Amino acid sequence: MKLMFRYSLLAAWMMAASCLGDLDVKPAGVKDASVAFQDVDDVNTGVLGAYAALNGQSIKISSLISDENMLPMENTSNDGVKVFEWQHDASTPNVVPAWQGNYQAIDRVNRILAVIDGVHAELPDVERKHRLKGELLAIRAYCHLELLRHYAVDYAADSAGVPIMTVSQAGQPARNKVGEVFAQIRKDLDGAKALIPASWTSAGRITRLAVLAIEARTALYQQDWTTAIAASREVMDAVPLATAAQFPEIWTDVRNNEVVWKLEREPVDERFGAFYRLAGGMVLFAPSFKLIGVFDRANDVRFNSWIADLNPSPVDTRWAVTKYAGGQPANYNLTDIKLFRVSEMYLIHAEAQVRKAGPDIAAANNDLQALRSQRINNYVHSAFGNAAQAMAAIEEERFRELAFEGHRYFDLRRWKKDIVRLPADIVAVGGTDLTLSPARKNYYMPIPLAELQANRNIRQHPLYE
């Protein structure tokens, strides 16, 4: 990673925990955290190890389940196909990484938080230690939100959520309620805001603005419209949208315009773009014809920045996702993963304005106009006049703006809407199964089988039982 993290003997203990049920056994030869961290430099190394556990699994899951991708005939791989076909279950490999990776990151965070207050810091390093603690709290909040988005039965406060982990210990925890998980996330974010100074800026690490962005997304799922408006507004006021000239270079990592937080990648890391297209040319998952159809191809800068027609003659026959192809031929498919961009804040702000008691349709119009004006050449805004029209516009704009960034599936889930595909997007699958409704089990992500076998207190999603 560009974070310059190298696994040292000092931080070797961090490689231990993954799934919750595996915490019953402490690996031999693992250093105690109180011994591993002697100064603030050691803490920083540990924090980088927590970042290293994060991944882009939500992007893959969203692309596989939702209507933003299609399965081309040329894909001879089995990876992800069961999920795309809506035939996944607790034993499907693709349901594991989000559970495993996020709890692994949480465990690394908890081990450091348990000892950080006792780590010696000379006066110049006290503020740095506080900031690192804030980053840890924010990572824990982000991971709990990711787990909730994937594995909660639904997003209502009294529904079954995911286990809250605030200490590293052996155990077999049950699901906490969704409302309890949200409360822990908000507590950690409040702590992070108090510790991370506004002067700290780094696109590859969590800043105070990144904390606010996590808070805005959390509030969106929680339907706390007041907090969603306030947090998103603060980020919007601080981070300008990229211009049409700047926008394409975000995706080749030349620029960080409008990027609030990203996972930086180096050649030793996973080449994330290979999920969509292999370096040899095979397209594994392509943009759906449904998604292609909602773009103004000639005028929208997003279209050619993210999507390519590989077979222009005959036209429109072989499409590829290029969002993660990167800008260096020698490192094809290696690019930083953008977790939060300010454009998402515009869309959160707009949706919260529409869905709050006493909708502010004018504010939502302003948000959509500002975003589209930067994306679409010669854009002329046609104002929507009521909440239903505004929400329809916001939903379509999220489909476009946040494509292949891990939102579409989770958006449809929180809106309780069917996932509907076009016949052209399932040619390789065959059949006529074009609609996945909330009444079907595969609309939801199951708890992985390994966790169920190791943890007698965890309960599967009811539709899988």
51/173 Cα distance (integer angstroms): 24
Confidence label for 11 from pLDDT (cuts 50, 70 and 90)? very low
Q: What is the pLDDT of residue 313?
A: 82
Full DSSP string of 54-91: ---HHHHHHHHHSSSEE--TT----TTHHHHTT---TT
pLDDT tens-digit profile of 148-196? Answer: 999 999 999 999 999 999 999 888 999 999 999 999 999 999 999 999 9
Say what percent of the chain tops pLDDT 90: 86
Confidence label for 283 from pLDDT (cuts 50, 70 and 90)? very high
pLDDT tens-digit profile of 340-368? Answer: 999 999 999 999 999 999 999 999 999 99
124 upstream amide cis, omega within 30 of 0: no
Local structure of residue 106 (DSSP, 8 states)? H
Check: CB of residue 68 under 8 Å from CB of residue 404.
yes
Full DSSP string of 309-347: ES--SSTTS-EEE-TTS-S-GGGTT---EEEEEHHHHHH
- What is the torsional sign of CA 397, 403, 406, 408? positive
Nearest in space to 56 (alpha carbons), one of 128, 150, 141: 150
Task: Map tokens 């250093």 to a residue.
Answer: 31
Asked whether residue 3 carries a pLDDT value surpassing 90, the answer given is no
Asked whether residue 209 carries a pLDDT value surpassing 90, the answer given is yes
Nearest in space to 39 (alpha carbons), one of 161, 141, 160, 121: 121
Q: What is the largest CA-CA distance in the chain?
A: 67
pLDDT tens-digit profile of 389-438? Answer: 999 999 999 999 999 999 999 999 999 999 999 999 999 999 999 999 99
Check: CB of residue 45 under 8 Å from CB of residue 5.
yes
Check: CB of residue 338 under 8 Å from CB of residue 250.
yes
Local structure of residue 25 (DSSP, 8 states)? S
Q: Which residues of 94-133 are buried (b: 16+ CB within 10 A; e: fewer)?
A: bbbbbbbbbbbbbbbbbbbbbbbeebebeeebeebbbbbb
- Comparison of pLDDT for 311 and 152, the residue scoring more: 152
Asked whether residue 461 carries a pLDDT value surpassing 80, the answer given is yes
Q: What is the pLDDT of residue 343?
A: 98
Task: Map tokens 């946040």 to a residue.
Answer: 402
Check: CB of residue 79 under 8 Å from CB of residue 284.
yes
Token pair recorded at residue 297:
């191809």
Amino acid at residue number 149 = R
Task: Map tokens 């696994």 to a residue.
Answer: 7
pLDDT tens-digit profile of 49-100? Answer: 999 999 899 999 999 999 999 999 999 888 999 999 999 999 999 999 999 9
Check: CB of residue 270 under 8 Å from CB of residue 314.
no
Say what percent of the chain tops pLDDT 70: 93
Q: Has this prediction a pTM greater than 0.85?
A: yes
Asked whether residue 32 carries a pLDDT value surpassing 90, the answer given is no
